């Protein structure tokens, strides 16, 4: 496809001239900033999402003081029609970005035209690996690639107990690539591919191929194809009496598969990127605005269109320019951003990390999310990324190549010792400073005190069902140390069982990892009133929210104030007896001191203003509707047993806005661990005085606080 595109584009100077004209228009800074939106053949949702984002951007003043406009282009049915569309886009110097082109079969070859014309190309649905394999500067993924999708699906197949898989795929490049990647990932996990066959998507009768499954012992079918042939095939699969669950590609979830397949599609599992019921103020605002505009719920295409348009706007704001080369560079080296479909963190090649597919199941004519099932994949990906980064650091730490000419050859043992020492030093550095970007003095100190043990081994231990709560919390705290890289840990300890457990946990791990613990104890709830806080300890605005008769609150303020000056990070005990509104304000205040706050907890019911949270994942067995989603998709496994497999695994959430304020810049590969970006609950709903014991001062501070990720 790429070779064909090179032939179609030609090699004249016209594309160079187009790029120069685009750069000149950007430098003038006059006129609208134009987004090229290619219509989606699957429906209007994608374009409607872009339109909603652009209305919001313009209502807030546009970009760089200029209005944003959308120029619509018809959907491309084949490569030649797509080429005409791409050339028309390239010839308009006002266009800064292209959103759309549904399939990888079009996005990959057309990327050549956009690269030559120097227009930022953000295909909203393409996942083929070839998209970012050519070293292009102006191509930016907005979805993970097929390798990540196949690995996630194989991980879930293993988790669900499917040991024998039948693989079916249509005979096109995209479906074939995804099916082969899934087979490789399945075999790597010890699963067996017991049957494999391909078919033409245009066929209407697959019964001859499906009949070959008679006599084959298989647990599930993996199906890689478009939603139209997928629906036909699954209906015929059920007609022949096969009741095994179907694991599909993302194209089943993006199309009208659920309508076309009917009840036969029950228990189809496929990757998706968006659910309308996703919690958080950002998604609530999006859903409310979309419903008001279209009197319907947004689908995945609408959410992806909305996110990609807002992502482009964020890139322009960060770059302070629409000049093509500046946009391309800024897109790859900017801090991670959060959208309604997940996290966008790009590497220099243009690949996206952090954002992952979420597995969903089709039940009763609707797609339902499967909670917690991606946690094993996230932890495994995090560990694999760390090991890869350790190898890279070890290679960089080795002695440079000698100068030309004869060189003395050291004894073999001595050379081995040098290499081992370099690798060990690089590993210690990786375990602290390479996980996040820290100030130089902190990075050096952290490297000197890094743990000798491999934390990756602890991540493997997390999958042990018999792991105690204390052992689990110990591994989770080690994980938080890897991400935040602190040397001095602060802890405000209430006089409760939870407070005592947190103190014991921090002290036991401090010896292993070489950090110090500074503990500030809170008084018992029935303690006598302490001395009133004075103006030096607290500003007038902050004093308004503190009870002068509550010794616990006064002691808490003193603890937070002292630890802000003496620690690198603060471990928060969620059930401390303090009002969540007070804890939230104190934690957010610590950002001005450069101190991140985090919690290791079974659950978090309130927004505590944390930078990082590790919370238990799992299946909500108290909700019969949730448990019913797993019925029929597990092999030899009860839902309760699945929950035990997930009970020790953390769902890691991060406040990306706090990361940016604190100067924490994770490597994009490590953001795969983060299951969601934390968003404060109070800007949209406000604190609940009845529930949290809030005051008018709390409400005033909350109302003045900015909404994250806007």
Task: Pick the closest to residue 116 from 8, 4, 7, 9 (CA basis).
Answer: 9
Task: Using CA atoms of 400, 405, 410, 416 in order, give the dihedral in degrees to the nearest 10.
Answer: 30
DSSP bridge partners of 199: 170
Residue 478: φ, ψ to 5°? -60, -40
Confidence of residue 280 (pLDDT cuts 50, 70, 90): confident
Q: Give percent above pLDDT 70 in the chain.
A: 82
Predicted pLDDT at 448: 34
Measured between alpha carbons, how far is 613 from 591 in angstroms, rounded to an integer? 16
Please give the pLDDT value at position 468: 86
d(CA 257, CA 304): 19
Asked whether residue 625 is assigned to any structural domain, the reply reads yes
Do 670 and 628 reside in the same domain of the chain? yes
* 3-class secondary structure, 613: strand
pLDDT at residue 420 tops 60: no
Angle at 259 between CA 255 and CA 261, to 5 degrees: 95
- pLDDT at residue 387 tops 80: yes
| pLDDT tens by residue, 292-308 | 999 999 999 999 999 99
Pairing between β-strand 95-99 and β-strand 120-122 as defined by DSSP bridges? parallel
Structure tokens at 50: 């872009």
- How far is Cα 58 from Cα 297, in angstroms, rounded to an integer? 23
Instruction: Report the alpha-carbon distance of residue 187 to residue 573 in Å, rounded.
Output: 42
Q: How many residues does the chain have?
A: 710
Q: What is the pLDDT of residues 513-553, one digit of tens each?
A: 999 999 999 987 665 555 555 544 555 445 555 655 678 88
Q: How far is CA 592 from CA 301, 418, 481, 564, in A?
A: 39, 43, 21, 9
| Higher-confidence position of 700 and 384 | 384
| Residue 366 belongs to a domain | no
Instruction: Check whether residue 519 and residue 612 sit in a common domain.
Output: yes
Pair 460, 599 in one domain: yes
**Domain match, 610 and 596 both:** yes
How many domains, the chain? 3
Q: Which residue has the higher pLDDT, 703 or 576?
A: 576
Q: Which of 6-10, 127-131, 357-361, 593-597 has the least mean pLDDT?
A: 6-10
How far is it, in rounded angstroms, from Cα 506 to Cα 166?
Answer: 48
- Choice among 75-84, 212-221, 310-319, 701-710 with the minimum mean pLDDT: 701-710
Question: Around Cβ 608, how many Cβ atoms within 10 Å?
Answer: 26
Specify whether 67 is located in the same domain as 190. Answer: no
How many other CB atoms are found less than 10 A from the CB of residue 133?
A: 14
The domain that holds 314 is classified in CATH as 3.40.50.2300
Would you say residue 427 lies in a domain?
A: no
Q: Is the pLDDT of residue 653 over 80?
A: yes
Does a structural domain hold residue 345? no
Comparing C-alpha atoms, which of 592, 589, 587, 611 is closest to residue 600? Answer: 611
Q: How far is CA 157 from the centre of its chain?
A: 21
Report the C-alpha gap between 295 and 284 in whole angstroms: 15
CA dist 97 and 91 (Å) reads: 13
Pairing assessment for the beta strands 246-248 and 516-521 based on DSSP bridges: unpaired
In 260-320, where do the E strands start and end? 268-272
Kindly state the tokens that stand for 552: 């616990």
For 110, the 3-state DSSP assignment is helix
Q: Which residues are CB-contacts of 154 (< 8 A; sequence separation ≥ 6)?
A: 182, 185, 186, 188, 189, 191
Q: What is the mean pLDDT of residues 428-454?
A: 36
Of residues 692, 603, 690, the one with CA closest to residue 651? 603
Predicted confidence at residue 649, as pLDDT, reads 92
Mean pLDDT for the chain overall: 84
**Main-chain dihedrals φ then ψ at residue 29, nearest 5 degrees:** 65, 25
> What residue ranges in 209-293 does DSSP mark as E strands?
220-224, 246-248, 268-272
Q: Which residue has the higher pLDDT, 21 or 401?
A: 21
DSSP letter at 297 equals -
Same domain, 150 and 246: yes
- Tell me, yes or no, whether 188 and 265 share the same domain: yes
Same domain, 117 and 177: no
- pLDDT (0 to 100) of residue 449: 37
Mean pLDDT of the 594-618 span: 92
How confident is residue 404, by pLDDT bands cut at 50, 70 and 90? low
d(CA 703, CA 661): 20
DSSP secondary structure, 420-465, as one string: HHHHHHHHHHIIIIITS---HHHHHHHHHT--SS-HHHHHHHTT-T
Which has more confidence, 535 or 192? 192
Q: Which two tokens stand for residue 129?
A: 């690996």
Quote the CA–CA distance of 245 and 255 in Å, as a whole number.
Answer: 19
My answer on whether 654 and 508 are in the same domain is: yes
Helical residues (DSSP H) of 133-213, grouped into ranges: 146-159, 173-188, 207-211
> With contact defined as beta carbons under 8 Å apart, do 437 and 665 qualify?
yes
pLDDT tier, 434 (very low <50, low <70, confident <90, very high otherwise): very low
pLDDT, tens only, 240-255: 999 999 999 999 988 8
pLDDT confidence of residue 549: 61
Which among 709, 639, 646 has a CA at the least distance from the CA of 679? 709
The pLDDT tens digits for 676-685 are 898 875 433 3
Integer angstrom CA distances of residue 185 from 76, 100, 245, 247, 584 = 33, 29, 19, 14, 43
Residues 164 and 93 in one domain: no
Residues 50 and 186 in one domain: no
pLDDT in tens, 462-500: 877 788 888 999 999 999 998 898 999 999 999 988 999
In this prediction, residue 75 carries a pLDDT of 86
The residues, ordered by sequence, that sit 6+ positions from 394 with a Cβ below 8 Å of its Cβ are 422, 423, 426, 427
Measured CA to CA, the distance from residue 121 to residue 113 in angstroms comes to 10
Least confident of 58-62, 197-201, 421-425: 421-425
* E strands in 115-245: 120-122, 164-170, 192-199, 220-224
Task: Note whether 94 and 184 are same-domain residues.
Answer: no
Reading phi first (left if > 0) and then psi (alpha if -120 to 50, else beta), residue 61 is in: left
- Residue 132 Cα distances to 15, 142, 426, angstroms: 20, 11, 29
442 belongs to a structural domain: yes
Look at residue 139 and tell me whether its pLDDT is greater than 70. yes
Stretch among 118-132, 202-216, 679-693 having the lowest mean pLDDT? 679-693
**Domain-embedded: residue 357:** no
What is the pLDDT averaged over residues 313-321? Answer: 96
Specify the DSSP element, H or E, that contains 571: strand 569-571
Is pLDDT at 445 greater than 80 in this prediction?
Answer: no
With respect to residue 330, please indicate whether it lies within any of the assigned structural domains.
no
Structural domain span for residue 251: 146-272
Angle at CA 143, nearest 5°, toward 142 and 149? 170
Judged against a pLDDT cut of 90, whether residue 571 lies above it is answered with yes
User: Higher-confidence residue: 276 or 443?
Assistant: 276
Q: Helices (H), strands (E): how many in the chain?
A: 29, 21
3-state class percentages of the chain: helix first, strand second, coil last, to nearest 5: 50, 15, 35
The region of weakest confidence among 1-10, 231-240, 445-454, 588-597 is: 445-454
H or E element at residue 369: strand 366-369
- 361 in a structural domain: no
- Look at residue 536 in the predicted model and tell me its pLDDT: 45
Q: What is the pLDDT of residues 16-50, one digit of tens each?
A: 789 999 999 999 999 999 999 999 998 999 999 99
Per-residue pLDDT for 120 more than 60?
yes
Predicted local distance difference test score (pLDDT) of residue 460? 75
Q: Is the pLDDT of residue 689 over 90?
A: no
Rounded Cα gap, residues 329 and 216, in angstroms: 52
Angstrom distance (rounded) from CA 126 to CA 145: 8
**C-alpha torsion sign, points 243, 245, 251, 252:** positive
Mean pLDDT in residue range 644-673 = 91
């Amino acid at each position: 496809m790429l070779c064909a595109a090179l032939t179609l584009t030609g090699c004249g100077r016209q594309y160079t001239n187009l790029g120069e004209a685009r750069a000149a228009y950007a430098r003038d800074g006059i006129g609208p900033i134009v987004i090229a939106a290619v219509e989606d053949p699957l429906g209007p949702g994608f374009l409607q999402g872009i339109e909603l984002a652009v209305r919001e951007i313009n209502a807030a003043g546009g970009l760089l003081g200029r209005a944003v406009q959308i120029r619509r282009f018809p959907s491309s049915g084949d490569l030649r029609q797509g080429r005409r569309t791409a050339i028309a886009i390239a010839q308009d110097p006002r266009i800064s970005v292209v959103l759309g082109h549904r399939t990888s079969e079009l996005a990959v070859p057309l990327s050549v035209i956009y690269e030559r014309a120097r227009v930022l190309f953000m295909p909203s649905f393409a996942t083929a690996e070839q998209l970012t394999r050519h070293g292009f500067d102006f191509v930016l993924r907005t979805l993970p690639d097929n390798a990540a999708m196949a690995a996630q699906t194989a991980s879930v197949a293993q988790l669900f107990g499917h040991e024998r898989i039948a693989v079916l795929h249509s005979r096109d490049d995209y479906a074939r690539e995804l099916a082969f990647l899934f087979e490789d990932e399945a075999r790597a996990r010890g699963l067996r591919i017991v049957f494999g066959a391909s078919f033409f998507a245009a066929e209407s009768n697959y019964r001859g191929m499906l009949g070959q499954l008679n006599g084959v012992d298989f647990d599930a079918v993996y199906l890689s194809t478009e939603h139209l042939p997928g629906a036909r095939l699954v209906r015929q699969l059920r007609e022949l009496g096969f009741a095994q669950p179907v694991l599909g590609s993302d194209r089943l979830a993006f199309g009208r598969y659920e309508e076309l397949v009917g009840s036969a599609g029950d228990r189809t599992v496929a990757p998706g990127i968006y659910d309308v019921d996703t919690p958080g103020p950002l998604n609530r605002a999006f859903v409310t605005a979309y419903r008001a505009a279209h009197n319907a719920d947004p689908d995945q295409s609408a959410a992806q269109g909305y996110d990609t348009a807002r992502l482009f706007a964020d890139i322009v704001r960060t770059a302070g320019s629409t000049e093509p080369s500046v946009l391309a560079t800024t897109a790859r080296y900017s801090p991670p951003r959060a959208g309604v479909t997940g996290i966008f963190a790009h590497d220099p090649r243009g690949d996206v990390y952090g954002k992952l597919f979420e597995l969903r199941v089709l039940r009763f004519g609707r797609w339902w999310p499967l909670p917690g099932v991606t946690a094993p994949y996230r932890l495994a990906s995090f560990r694999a990324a760390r090991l890869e980064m350790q190898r890279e650091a070890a290679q960089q730490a080795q002695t440079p190549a000698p100068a030309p000419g004869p060189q003395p050859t050291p004894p073999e043992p001595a050379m081995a010792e040098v290499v081992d020492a370099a690798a060990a030093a690089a590993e210690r550095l990786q375990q602290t400073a390479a996980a996040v970007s820290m100030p130089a003095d902190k990075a050096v100190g952290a490297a000197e005190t890094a743990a000798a043990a491999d934390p990756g081994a602890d991540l493997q231990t997390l999958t042990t069902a018999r792991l105690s709560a204390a052992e689990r919390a110990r591994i989770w705290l080690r994980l938080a140390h890897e991400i935040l890289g602190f040397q001095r840990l602060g802890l405000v300890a209430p006089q409760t069982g939870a407070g005592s457990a947190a103190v014991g946990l921090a002290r036991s791990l401090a010896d292993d990892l070489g950090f110090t613990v500074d503990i500030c104890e809170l008084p018992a709830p029935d303690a006598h009133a302490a001395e009133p806080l004075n103006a030096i300890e607290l500003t007038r605005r902050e004093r308004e929210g503190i009870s002068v008769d509550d010794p616990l609150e006064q002691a808490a303020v003193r603890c937070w104030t002292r630890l802000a000056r003496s620690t690198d990070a603060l471990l928060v005990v969620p059930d401390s007896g303090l009002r969540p509104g007070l804890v939230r304000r104190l934690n957010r205040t610590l950002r001005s001191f450069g101190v991140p706050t985090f919690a290791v907890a079974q659950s978090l019911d309130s927004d505590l203003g944390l930078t990082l949270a590790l919370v238990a994942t799992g299946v909500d067995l108290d909700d019969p509707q949730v448990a019913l989603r797993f019925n029929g998709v597990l092999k030899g496994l009860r839902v309760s047993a699945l929950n035990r497999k997930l009970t020790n695994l953390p769902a890691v959430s991060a406040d990306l806005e706090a990361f940016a304020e604190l100067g924490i810049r994770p490597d994009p590969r490590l953001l795969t661990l983060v299951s969601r970006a934390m968003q404060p609950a109070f800007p949209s709903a406000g604190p609940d005085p009845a529930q949290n014991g809030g005051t008018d001062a709390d409400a005033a501070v909350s109302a003045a606080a900015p909404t994250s990720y806007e």
